[in-house]
Amino acid sequence: MKRILLLGGVTEALAIARTLGPQHIYSLAGVGRVPTDLTCQVRVGGFGGADGLAQFIHDQSIGLLLDATHPYAAQISQNAATAAQLTGIPCWALRRPAWQPQTGDDWREVSDWAELIEALEPFRRPLFTLGREPLQHLHEIPPEQFWTLRALDVYPGNQRCEVIGARGPFLINDERELFERKQIDVLISKNSGSTATEPKLEVARERGVPVLVLKRPVLVGVDREFGSVGDLVIALSASDLS
């Protein structure tokens, strides 16, 4: 029986973890909630790069690495692929499909913060849903803009920025109310592909609000890639892992 090391980072990872027995390990970076009701083992915190992860795989006799981290968490995905190669074990990954623009959408892709700031110039009341990165730029907000910034936790804002701490899933009516209350004229988002955060895109569409989409990083290829938890779990049960 192969021992699995599951690298978590998205909601779906928890669903996979719930299918794993006590010999397997679910690993979290430590930025989100740590579940306490799982049958499998749970560990929290970094490994110390690809070499540290390879050492952990060796020490724990791991036979399969499952990468279910966020599509923008490129470092850990790279580390996973490298560590699997170093230790000679397979690496499988859950690669959540990206959202696709629909009729009526005005999406503008940006590659980095500099491009984002340039694209933001014509707007006055942006809603940032990128996580914590904009917090480093609060002192750069132009006088004509007021930012609304949504992150997992509340952080101090300033006179030109309100920070909202909230965790998905987000409901469409709450998103409608937020866009209306804050008079949002542009949405800034990663393309996470998550159903939990998708309603904001629907509201942007309804209101004709443009969306500045931060490009997805190109992730390293691994032995097998799955677009859904269901496909991955089927492949696990069809393999000789348990």
| Footprint of ligand NAP (CB under 6 A) | 7-9, 27-29, 31, 46-49, 52-53, 69-70, 72-76, 79, 131, 190
Nearer CB in complex with ligand NAP: 55/125: 55
Nearer CB in complex with ligand NAP: 72/92: 72
Beta bridge partners of 7: 27, 67
How near is the Cβ of 47 to ligand NAP at its closest, in Å?
A: 4
CA-based nearest residue to 146, from 126, 132, 128: 126
How near is the Cβ of 61 to ligand NAP at its closest, in Å?
A: 18
How near is the Cβ of 184 to ligand NAP at its closest, in Å?
A: 20
How near is the Cβ of 130 to ligand NAP at its closest, in Å?
A: 7
Nearer CB in complex with ligand NAP: 218/238: 218
Nearer CB in complex with ligand NAP: 25/204: 25
Nearer CB in complex with ligand NAP: 4/76: 76
CB 40 within 8 A of CB 158: no
Q: In angstroms, rounded to a whole number, what is the distance separating the alpha carbons of residues 17 and 27?
A: 10
Sheet of 107-110: strands edge to edge? Answer: 107-110, 211-214, 186-190, 126-129, 147-151, 161-165
Nearer CB in complex with ligand NAP: 81/141: 81
CB 74 within 8 A of CB 19: no
Pairing of strands 211-214, 62-67: unpaired
Q: In angstroms, rounded to a whole number, what is the distance separating the alpha carbons of residues 53 and 34?
A: 20
Look up tokens 């892709």; give the residue: 109
How near is the Cβ of 107 to ligand NAP at its closest, in Å?
A: 18
Retrieve residue 21's tokens: 């027995």
How near is the Cβ of 152 to ligand NAP at its closest, in Å?
A: 8
Q: Which residue is nearest to ligand NAP (CB)?
A: 9
For the chain, give the number of residues.
Answer: 242
